Amino acid sequence: MYEIDLSTVMLIGIDEDNTKVITMDNEFLISINSKKIIDNSCKFFGSSLTDRVNMTKRLINIKSKLPIIIEESRNIIFFPLKSIRDKCNIWISYNNLEKYVKSGDKTVFYFKNNKQVVIDFSYYIIDNQVTRSLMLDYEIKKRRESLKK
């Protein structure tokens, strides 16, 4: 079983049963779909994907393609490029993402540790998802600060 950690940069759903996992210094295939990896990782850190979806909806009032906080204390956030119901999805680590640039019809991701990944996906959808993740990150930090008072 694989759980997301701080070194995970991307999950690429190959089909409904297989996912390519990309970490800061490794790439490998596992026989589980990307949605199940996200759900298992949420459960590993004490919640479920359903609970995380509901939390994101409450915090940023968005209903589709929701970014998910996998683990709160380290603020591990992943965002999907398709519907979260899709078992063959691409999930990207918001925390490890340094920048992303349009390259023709593709998008190049630059992650921490000089990791680069090119995917054939719309830059504009990715930009929208990063913005949503930024909103979630901001709301979580704001909530944490209010608890300190």
pLDDT band at 2 (very low <50, low <70, confident <90, very high): confident
- Tokens 């190959």 correspond to 14
**Is this model's pTM higher than 0.85 or not?**
yes
- Beta strands 76-80; 8-15: pairing state: unpaired
pLDDT digits (tens, 9 = 90+) for 63-120: 899 999 999 888 899 999 999 999 899 999 999 999 999 999 999 999 999 999 999 9
Task: Pick the closest to residue 113 from 8, 7, 24 (CA basis).
Answer: 24
pLDDT for position 40: 95
Tokens of 94: 């918001």
Query: Has residue 1 got a pLDDT over 90?
Result: no
Query: Has residue 58 got a pLDDT over 90?
Result: yes
Domain layout of the chain by residue ranges: 8-148
Cα 116 off chain centre by: 16
Say if CB 140 and CB 75 are below 8 A apart.
Answer: yes
